[in-house]
Amino acid sequence: GGTAMAAVRDVEIDPEGTFKYILVRLQRPGGEEQRDIVRGTKAAEFHNHIFEKVNPEMEKLGYECKCLGGGKIDHNSKDKKIRVFGLSTGYGKADHSVTVEILKKTYTDYEITWSDDKK
């Protein structure tokens, strides 16, 4: 069953702009296999809106989801730059350094940075 988890994309974020994001850990119930994914969108007014969308999708695939925290992403596709910053009031601050490593897998030719700045 490694294939299903591989089918889940590491990153799903809006192609442009500044928006909230969360870092989510997927795990097979009772299994060792786990993976962290990044999800972010302008459509979400609050961080939990993102989780409420991701969680049922992942449960259908047989994963337990845990939100590891959140923040904001500033995605500049023209300059190929992504900045990760801020925090989630509800979930706390994600480990942005982990988020950056995950983003780098998808956005290989981008300059990706993070900071603990609020804005």
- pLDDT tens per residue across span 77-108: 999 999 999 999 999 999 999 999 999 999 99
- pLDDT tens per residue across span 6-34: 779 999 999 999 999 999 999 998 888 89
- pLDDT tens per residue across span 24-69: 999 998 888 899 999 999 999 999 999 999 999 999 999 999 999 9
Please confirm, yes or no, whether 47 is among the known catalytic residues: yes
Question: Is 119 annotated as belonging to a binding site?
Answer: no
| pTM, 2 dp | 0.94
The answer to whether residue 2 scores a pLDDT higher than 60 is: no
* pLDDT for the residue numbered 119: 85
The answer to whether residue 1 scores a pLDDT higher than 60 is: no
CATH number among 1.20.1440.230, 3.40.50.300, 3.50.20.20, 3.40.50.10090, domain 11-115: 3.50.20.20
Sequential DSSP letters for 3-45: HHHHHS-SEEE-SSEEEEEEEEEEE-TT-S-EEEEEEEETT-S
Classified as helix, coil or strand, 82 is strand
Q: Which of 47, 49, 75, 96 is catalytic?
A: 47
* pLDDT for the residue numbered 30: 87
Domain boundaries, the chain: 11-115
* pLDDT for the residue numbered 4: 67
